[in-house]
């Protein structure tokens, strides 16, 4: 587990390229807002999380496998992550931020992630 990265992951790099291509200004790895955001802009009040399907328990996805061994460890750990994600999104919304979650599986299809980003920023206008 020590080799698992928390920043500059492949899905984050894909999203970063898509955001840069559209000319959207952002900060990376924002730590002073709830949830340690992957991308955010405080002036425009948007927050983007890039979630790994396994670590954040993406529903009904192949990448979000349910561990077969050591279930007593993994189940509570993954449940805490889901709960924390919901709490962080709620706190950001209370602060007036619009929140977008891009899943790892969507980042593997850049056109799908680009469409999500375009729809999100269209709704901000």
Domains of the chain: residue spans and CATH: 10-124 (3.40.960.10)
Listed residue (3, 1, 11) closest to 116, CA to CA: 11
Whether the per-residue pLDDT at 1 is higher than 60: the answer is: no
- Summarize the confidence of residues 40-69 as an average pLDDT: 86
pLDDT tens sequence across 6-54? 677 888 999 999 999 988 899 998 889 998 899 999 999 999 999 988 8
> What pLDDT, on the 0 to 100 scale, is given for residue 120?
93
> What pLDDT, on the 0 to 100 scale, is given for residue 125?
75
């Amino acid at each position: 587990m020590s080799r698992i990265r928390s920043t500059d992951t492949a899905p984050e790099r894909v999203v970063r390229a898509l955001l840069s291509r559209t000319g959207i200004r952002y900060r990376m790895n924002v730590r002073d807002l709830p949830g340690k955001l992957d991308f955010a802009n405080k002036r425009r009040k948007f927050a983007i999380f890039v979630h790994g399907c396994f670590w954040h328990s993406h529903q009904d996805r192949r990448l979000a496998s349910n561990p077969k061994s050591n279930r007593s460890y993994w189940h509570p750990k993954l449940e805490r992550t889901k709960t924390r994600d919901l709490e962080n999104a709620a706190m950001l919304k209370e602060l007036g931020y619009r929140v977008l979650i891009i899943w790892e599986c969507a980042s593997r299809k850049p056109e799908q992630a680009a469409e999500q980003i375009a729809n999100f920023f269209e709704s901000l206008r």
